[in-house]
C-alpha cells in the first residue's frame, strides 16, 4: 500500500469515528416561528441548509398566506365568478387534496372555507373586532361556507361553485410546511431530525443519543407558559399537531370566545374541549384533524380516530370545576 493510499484510508476511518452533532436551525415563517434539530456529521455546514429551508418556506407562504395579497390563495379568493378555472401550484393542489379528504372524513367539522367567519369574529387578516357579530351576519357568512363548493378537476384546475366562497387554509398550512421541510431534509441525506413550525411537528429517526424524540403537549391553560408541558409524547417517524382554545381568543361581556369555529353554527366552539393532539404519518393530516377534533368533541372525535389506521389522539376536556380529563385513543402513547 502506498503512503498516499494509507493517508486516505486513515482519513476516512477518522471521519467515520467522529461524533455526530445536533444542528439547530430556526427562524420566522407563517406568522410564527420554526425550530429544527438535525443530527448530522461533525463537518456538516448549516449555512446552505438554512438558506434552502427559508427559501422553501417562503414558497409555501407565497402560496397559502391570506395576508399576502399576491399569494395564490388571495388570487383565488378574488375570483368572483363561478366555474372560472384556476390552476394551482403543486403545493396548493396538494393541500387542497388533503383538505377535501379531511372535510369528508370529519363530515364537515373541518372546513377550509371558513374565511368569512374567521374575519367576522376578528381572527383573520382584517384584525380584531370591537363588537360581537349578530345572528344575521353569522348566517350570511355561513351561507358562503362549504368546502364541497370547490370543484377540483382531474386536469388539475379548480373552480368555485359559489362565487362568494373564499379559502383560509391556516389550520393545515403549517402542517404542510413541516412536511415539506421534512422532505427537504430527507432529500439532502439526513435521516434523524425534528421539524417544528408553530407547535406542529415531524420527527424522523432518533435523537443523537439514540432515544426517541420527545415532544411536549402544552398545558391547555390560558395562563400557562409556552414551555409548560402537560404531557410528553415519544415520536419516531411520526408527525404530531395540537389544536387548542387557550392561545388565540378574546373576552367580551364576561365570556371567552376562541378562534376555533364550528362550521355548522358559525360560532366559536363551546363543548369543553380545550386541547386536541393528533399523531399521524404526516403533519398536514395531523394539523387539520386536530382542529376538527376540537369541533367534534371527545366522544365523536375518539370514535373517528379509532377507525383511522395509523392515527392516534389525545383530547383534553376541562370540567366545570376546572379539572382536566384526558380522552386518549386506543393506541396513544404518553410519558
pLDDT in tens, 147-182: 999 999 988 899 999 999 999 999 999 999 999 999
- For the ranges 40-49, 126-135, 222-231, which has the lowest average pLDDT? 40-49
Q: For 269-279, what is the mean pLDDT?
A: 96
Residue 334 pLDDT class (50, 70, 90 cuts):
confident
Q: Among 18, 278, 253, which Cα is nearest to 171's?
A: 278
Contacts 24+ apart (CB under 8 A), 256-263: 257/121, 257/132, 259/118, 259/121, 259/123, 260/291, 260/294, 260/295, 261/114, 261/117, 261/118, 261/121, 261/123, 261/295, 262/109, 262/295, 263/108, 263/109, 263/110, 263/111, 263/114, 263/117, 263/145, 263/295
Residue 15 pLDDT class (50, 70, 90 cuts):
very low
Quick one: pLDDT at residue 16? 46
Indicate the SS3 state at residue 290.
helix
Quick one: pLDDT at residue 104? 97
Rounded to 10°, the helix 170-187/47-64 angle is 150
Q: For 188-200, what is the mean pLDDT?
A: 96
Residue 264 pLDDT class (50, 70, 90 cuts):
very high
**Whether pLDDT at 309 is above 90:** yes
Q: Among 311, 314, 253, which Cα is nearest to 285's?
A: 311
**Whether pLDDT at 52 is above 90:** yes
Quick one: pLDDT at residue 8? 41
Query: How many whole angstroms separate alpha carbon 194 and alpha carbon 289?
Result: 21
First CA to last CA across the chain, in angstroms? 54
What does the DSSP 8-state code read for residue 168?
A: -
Query: How many whole angstroms separate alpha carbon 229 and alpha carbon 111?
Result: 29
Quick one: pLDDT at residue 7? 41
Q: For 257-276, what is the mean pLDDT?
A: 96
Quick one: pLDDT at residue 18? 53
The C-alpha cell at 154 is 382531474
The C-alpha cell at 244 is 387548542
Quick one: pLDDT at residue 103? 97
Q: For 291-299, what is the mean pLDDT?
A: 98
| Per-chain mean pLDDT for the chain | 93
Indicate the SS3 state at residue 249.
strand
**Whether pLDDT at 1 is above 80:** no
Residue 47 pLDDT class (50, 70, 90 cuts):
confident
More confident: 292 or 222: 292
Query: How many whole angstroms separate alpha carbon 308 and alpha carbon 305?
Result: 5
The C-alpha cell at 152 is 377540483
Residue 20 pLDDT class (50, 70, 90 cuts):
confident
**Whether pLDDT at 10 is above 60:** no
- For the ranges 3-17, 246-260, 287-301, 310-324, which has the lowest average pLDDT? 3-17
Percent of the chain topping pLDDT 90: 85
**pTM for this model (two decimals):** 0.92
**C-alpha 56: how far from its chain's center?**
16
Query: How many whole angstroms separate alpha carbon 258 and alpha carbon 267?
Result: 9
Q: For 86-94, what is the mean pLDDT?
A: 97
Pairing of strands 267-268, 273-280: unpaired
Q: Are 286 and 279 in contact (CB under 8 A)?
A: yes
More confident: 10 or 134: 134
Query: How many whole angstroms separate alpha carbon 163 and alpha carbon 149?
Result: 9
Amino acid at each position: 500500500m502506498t503512503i498516499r493510499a494509507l493517508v486516505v484510508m486513515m482519513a476516512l476511518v477518522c471521519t467515520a469515528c467522529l461524533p455526530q452533532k445536533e444542528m439547530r436551525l430556526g427562524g420566522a415563517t407563517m406568522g410564527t416561528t420554526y425550530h429544527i434539530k438535525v443530527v448530522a456529521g461533525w463537518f456538516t455546514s448549516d449555512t446552505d441548509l438554512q438558506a434552502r429551508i427559508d427559501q422553501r418556506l417562503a414558497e409555501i407562504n407565497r402560496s397559502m398566506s391570506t395576508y399576502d395579497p399576491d399569494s395564490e390563495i388571495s388570487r383565488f379568493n378574488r375570483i368572483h365568478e363561478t366555474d372560472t378555472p384556476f390552476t394551482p401550484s403543486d403545493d396548493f393542489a396538494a393541500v387542497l387534496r388533503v383538505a377535501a379528504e379531511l372535510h369528508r372524513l370529519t363530515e364537515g367539522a373541518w372546513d377550509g372555507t371558513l374565511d368569512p367567519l374567521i374575519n367576522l369574529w376578528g381572527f383573520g387578516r382584517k384584525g380584531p373586532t370591537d363588537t360581537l357579530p349578530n345572528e344575521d351576519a353569522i348566517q350570511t357568512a355561513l351561507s358562503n361556507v362549504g368546502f364541497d363548493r370547490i370543484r377540483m378537476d382531474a386536469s388539475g384546475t379548480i373552480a368555485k361553485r359559489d362565487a362568494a366562497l373564499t379559502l383560509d387554509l391556516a389550520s393545515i398550512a403549517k402542517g404542510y410546511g413541516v412536511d415539506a421541510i421534512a422532505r427537504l431534509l430527507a432529500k439532502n441525506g439526513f435521516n434523524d431530525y425534528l421539524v417544528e413550525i408553530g407547535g406542529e411537528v415531524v420527527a424522523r429517526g432518533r435523537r443523537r443519543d439514540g432515544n426517541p424524540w420527545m415532544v411536549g403537549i402544552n398545558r391547555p391553560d390560558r395562563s400557562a407558559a409556552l414551555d409548560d408541558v402537560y404531557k410528553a409524547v415519544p415520536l419516531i417517524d411520526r408527525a404530531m399537531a395540537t389544536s387548542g382554545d387557550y392561545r388565540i381568543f378574546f373576552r367580551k361581556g364576561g365570556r371567552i370566545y376562541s378562534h376555533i369555529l364550528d362550521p355548522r353554527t358559525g360560532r366559536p366552539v363551546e363543548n369543553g374541549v380545550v386541547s386536541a393532539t393528533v399523531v399521524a404519518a404526516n403533519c398536514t393530516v395531523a394539523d387539520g384533524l386536530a382542529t376538527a377534533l376540537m369541533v367534534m368533541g371527545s366522544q365523536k372525535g375518539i370514535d373517528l380516530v379509532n377507525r383511522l389506521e395509523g392515527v392516534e389522539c389525545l383530547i383534553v376536556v376541562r370540567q366545570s370545576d376546572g379539572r382536566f380529563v384526558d380522552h386518549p385513543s386506543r393506541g396513544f402513547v404518553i410519558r
